[in-house]
């Protein structure tokens, strides 16, 4: 059985930053593996450890810089990795979920996985749509926001829990092949061991271009365009207590006493 | 020119976003100059249609197929409805179930999808306002298409009121049973336990800023010194440092204490969903731009490891 895990390198913004055009200025961005994808990788690796002959392949759409993130996934136990990128993709203004789903569709067609795991959302643009959009494109069944998974490798069926709002979970049976979008907390993602990191250097990491995937540049055309980015006007009317830690703590303490919520 | 908004219900009750969808849907329909239609799928559709018949709704299409949300049925029904009525926009809620079927509807209709809108202006080319980087920046995206799909953030629009005179009619379509490949088998409540954080008058709530499980006694000590209850954001629970019944937020508990002290919590939308009704919100955070600052009444922009020990001391406790 083959499990394909989509992974993304996401950008995190420093506390102070400036915006340059349509993105935060590069010098204020730090890159890391998307939190939700970390759980998806762990779920796949656990499946491969619990069953014979489960291959875990990761795929990312991203520039060369993302190799570091992918190596992390390989170090945690993925068998091999694909990275989709070329100049045309680099030049595309905006990769909306529809576009990403088309790129990933080509990978699914090539790899023919039995199960695809994605994160619920990516921490940066938070569309939360790529996994289900991909499922729809490739004709797989799916489940979104999965926080518990039991997978029957023989039948390729899954019993999942979907985490709804307000502490309610839905129990759902899903026929494979399926795409499941994985929620944080489903497992405990492992740290990459030193041995894992060494092994990861020797695992295959293929870069595929649009051409390799049999796609035309026109897949990058989208009717959704990012048109502006700005710092939201602060709605804050918070009273900011200033000073040293003992002064600010003193202010908060007085407030709590004065408002009568705390005695003493 | 129509907008088709897809309502949500669970276990016999319409969910709040259904009524928010009416408000947002009316706004979108006004922008586009057209009608607002609602889709109601599964369960007691006539009963739901009655409740949804509020001011601003022009038509309600019901599909009595299935009891609860099933994305295969929803996707098929909404797609068929959109093909029959050709709405300019299909509007859905950015809820967990919204995430489970909106992308499929957009795919089936081959239209662009933008999720988690916090605002929009569709009087010209539809321009959608969203957030990025955990709410630190806002973006606008334009949609250049005749038809599009959009999900709206819960609780950003008011719930529609008033009584309407919408036309209610059953929508007939042939459900392809063979394409229903997922089955909802039940529901379970999780996260109950010894403590109900929803009962607390004062919550000391801790987030990822605490860094390590070993640092947790620091905030526990503060909670003790204040006679407060300890709660947390999601990562603390995901890490197994606190049980699920302590989690505040969309997938945790909704709390409304007199005072909510958010320590090292950024204020992600799913967290805020659970605590914005607190009387007074105090944030302790090193980041002056953290979204929690937008809803805080009082804030200390400083390192929690400096401030919390001082605070414990103020109340006669001893920092661990
Ligand atoms: C479907 C779905 C449901 C979700 N449900 C929930 C939910 O119910 N509840 C929930 O909380 N989240 C939920 N989330 C997750 C949510 O999106 C955020 O990931 C989460 O709330 C972030 O938690 P945090 O604020 O503790 O961590 P972060 O966002 O990492 O914030 C940590 C904060 O600590 C500050 N900090 C760091 N060090 C210090 C220091 N030394 N002193 C002071 N401040 C410091 C940082 O500046 C930062 O603001 C959900 C997500 C999804 C997709």
Q: How far is the CA of A123 from the centre of ligand 1 (A)?
A: 11
Reduce the DSSP state of residue A223 to 3 states and report it: coil
Shortest CA gap A93–chain B (Å): 12
Section B295-308 average pLDDT: 98
The Cα–Cα gap between A9 and A32 comes to: 5
Instruction: Judge whether A123 is closer than 8 Å to chain B, CB to CB.
Output: yes
pLDDT, tens digit (0-9, with 9 covering 90-100), for B212-236: 999 999 999 999 999 999 999 999 9
Ligand 1 lined by A120 (C-beta under 6 Å): yes
Assign residue B71 a region (left: φ > 0; alpha: ψ between -120 and 50; beta: otherwise): alpha
**8 Å CB contact of B106 and A264:** no
A262 pLDDT exceeds 90?
A: no
The Cα–Cα gap between A144 and A124 comes to: 19
What's the pLDDT score for residue B82? 97
Per-position DSSP letters for A18-62, written without gaps between them = -EETTEE-GGGEEEEE-HHHHHHHHHHHHHHHHSTT-EEEEEEE-
Section B115-122 average pLDDT: 98
φ/ψ of B113, rounded to 5, equals: -125, 130
Q: Can you give A87-152 as a three-state secondary structure string?
A: HHHHHCCCCCHHHHHHHHHHHHHHHCCCEEEEECCCCCCCCCCHHHHHHHHHCCEEEEEEEEEEEE
φ/ψ of A124, rounded to 5, equals: -90, -65
ipTM of the complex: 0.96
Q: List the 127-146 stretch of A: residues with Cβ below 8 A of B.
A: 127-133, 135-137, 141-145
Q: How confident is the model at residue B42 (pLDDT cuts 50, 70, 90)?
A: very high
Per-position DSSP letters for B207-270, written without gaps between them = -GGG-SGGGHHHHHHHHHHHTPEEEE-HHHHHTTSS-GGGBBSSSSB----SEEEEES----HH
Q: How confident is the model at residue B193 (pLDDT cuts 50, 70, 90)?
A: confident
Ligand 1 lined by B98 (C-beta under 6 Å): no
Assign residue B122 a region (left: φ > 0; alpha: ψ between -120 and 50; beta: otherwise): alpha
Q: Which of B188, B190, B302 sits opposite A248 (nearest CB)?
A: B302
The pTM of the full predicted model, rounded to 2 decimals, is 0.97
What's the pLDDT score for residue A93? 85
Q: How confident is the model at residue A264 (pLDDT cuts 50, 70, 90)?
A: low
The Cα–Cα gap between B22 and B10 comes to: 18
Ligand 1 lined by A121 (C-beta under 6 Å): yes
Q: Which of B107, B185, B311 sits opposite A173 (nearest CB)?
A: B185
**8 Å CB contact of A143 and B182:** yes
- List the residue whose alpha carbon is closest to atom 26 of ligand 1: B207
Per-position DSSP letters for B131-178, written without gaps between them = EEGGGTEEEEEEE-SSSEEEEE-TTSSPPP-S----EEEEPP----GG
CA A22 remoteness from chain centre:
21
The Cα–Cα gap between A7 and B140 comes to: 25
Q: List the 198-257 stretch of A: residues with Cβ below 8 A of B.
A: 222-232, 234-241, 245-246, 248-253, 255-256
pLDDT, tens digit (0-9, with 9 covering 90-100), for B66-77: 999 999 999 999
Section A200-218 average pLDDT: 97
What's the pLDDT score for residue A44? 98
**8 Å CB contact of A224 and B114:** yes
Q: How confident is the model at residue A75 (pLDDT cuts 50, 70, 90)?
A: very high
B192 pLDDT exceeds 90?
A: no
- Comparing alpha-carbon positions, the chain A residue that sits nearest to B290 is A15
Per-residue tokens: B274: 């659970």
The candidate with the shortest Cα–Cα distance to B289, out of A240, A249, A164, is A240
What's the pLDDT score for residue A210? 98
- Comparing alpha-carbon positions, the chain A residue that sits nearest to B289 is A15
Q: How confident is the model at residue B157 (pLDDT cuts 50, 70, 90)?
A: very high
**8 Å CB contact of A174 and B134:** no
Per-residue tokens: B253: 């508990």
CA B136 remoteness from chain centre:
18
Per-residue tokens: A107: 């990978």
Ligand 1 lined by B250 (C-beta under 6 Å): yes
Angle at A162 between CA B151 and CA B52, to 5 degrees: 45
Residue A30: CB atoms within 10 A of its CB come to 9
The mean pLDDT of chain A is 96
Section A66-90 average pLDDT: 97
The mean pLDDT of chain B is 97
Per cent of chain B over pLDDT 90 is 96
A261 pLDDT exceeds 90?
A: no
Task: Evaluate whether B315 touches A264 at the Cβ level (below 8 Å).
Answer: yes
Per-residue tokens: B63: 């599909």
A263 pLDDT exceeds 80?
A: no
User: Cα dist. B237→A264, B64, B303 in Å?
Assistant: 31, 39, 22
């Amino acid at each position: 059985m083959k499990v394909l895990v989509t992974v993304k390198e996401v950008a995190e913004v420093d506390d102070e930053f400036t915006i340059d055009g349509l993105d935060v200025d590069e010098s204020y961005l730090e890159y890391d593996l998307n939190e939700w994808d970390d759980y998806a990788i762990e779920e796949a690796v656990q499946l491969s450890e619990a069953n014979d002959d489960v291959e875990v392949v990761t795929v990312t759409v991203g520039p060369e810089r993302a190799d570091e993130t992918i190596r992390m996934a390989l170090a945690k136990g993925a068998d091999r990795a694909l990275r989709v990128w070329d100049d045309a993709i680099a030049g595309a203004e905006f990769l909306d979920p529809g576009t990403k789903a088309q790129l990933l569709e080509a990978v699914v067609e090539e790899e023919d996985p039995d199960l695809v795991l994605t994160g619920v959302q990516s921490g940066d643009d938070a569309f939360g749509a790529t996994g289900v959009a991909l499922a729809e494109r490739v004709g797989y069944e799916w489940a979104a926001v999965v926080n518990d998974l039991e997978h029957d490798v023989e039948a390729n069926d899954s019993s999942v829990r979907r985490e709804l709002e307000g502490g309610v979970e839905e129990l759902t049976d899903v026929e494979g092949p399926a795409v499941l979008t994985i929620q944080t907390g489903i497992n405990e993602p492992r740290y990459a061991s030193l041995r894992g990191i060494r092994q990861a250097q020797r695992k295959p990491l293929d870069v595929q271009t649009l051409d390799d995937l049999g796609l035309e540049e026109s897949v990058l055309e989208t009717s959704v365009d990012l048109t502006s980015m700005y710092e939201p006007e602060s709605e804050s009317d918070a009273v900011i207590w200033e000073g040293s830690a003992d002064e600010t703590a003193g202010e908060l303490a007085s407030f709590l006493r004065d408002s009568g919520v705390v005695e003493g | 020119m129509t907008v088709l908004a897809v309502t949500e219900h669970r276990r016999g009750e319409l969910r709040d976003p259904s009524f928010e969808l009416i408000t947002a849907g009316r706004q979108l329909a006004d922008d586009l100059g057209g009608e607002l239609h609602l889709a109601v799928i599964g369960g007691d559709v006539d009963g739901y249609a009655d409740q949804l018949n509020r001011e601003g709704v022009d038509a309600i299409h019901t599909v009595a197929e299935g009891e609860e949300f099933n994305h295969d049925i929803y996707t098929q029904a909404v797609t068929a409805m959109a093909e029959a009525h050709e709405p300019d926009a299909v509007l859905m809620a950015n809820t967990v179930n919204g995430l489970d079927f909106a992308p499929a509807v957009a795919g089936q209709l081959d239209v662009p999808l933008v999720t988690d809108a916090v605002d929009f202006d569709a009087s010209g080319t539809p321009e959608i306002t969203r957030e990025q980087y955990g709410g630190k920046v806002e973006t606008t995206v334009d949609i250049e298409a005749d038809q599009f799909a959009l999900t709206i953030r819960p609780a950003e629009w008011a719930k529609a009121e008033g009584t309407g005179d919408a036309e209610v009619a059953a929508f007939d379509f042939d459900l392809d049973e063979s394409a229903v490949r997922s089955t909802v088998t039940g529901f379970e409540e999780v996260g109950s336990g010894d403590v109900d954080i929803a009962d607390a008058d004062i919550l000391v709530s801790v987030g990822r800023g605490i860094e390590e499980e070993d640092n947790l006694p620091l905030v526990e000590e503060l909670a003790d010194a204040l006679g407060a209850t300890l709660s947390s954001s999601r990562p603390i629970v995901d890490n197994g440092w606190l049980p699920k019944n302590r989690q505040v937020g969309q997938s945790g508990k909704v709390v409304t204490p007199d005072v909510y002290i958010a320590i090292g919590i950024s204020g992600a939308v799913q967290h805020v969903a659970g605590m914005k009704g607190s009387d007074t919100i105090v944030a302790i955070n090193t980041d002056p731009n953290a979204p929690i600052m937008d809803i805080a009444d009082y804030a200390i922009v400083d390192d929690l490891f400096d401030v919390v020990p001082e605070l414990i001391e103020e109340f006669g406790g001893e920092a661990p």
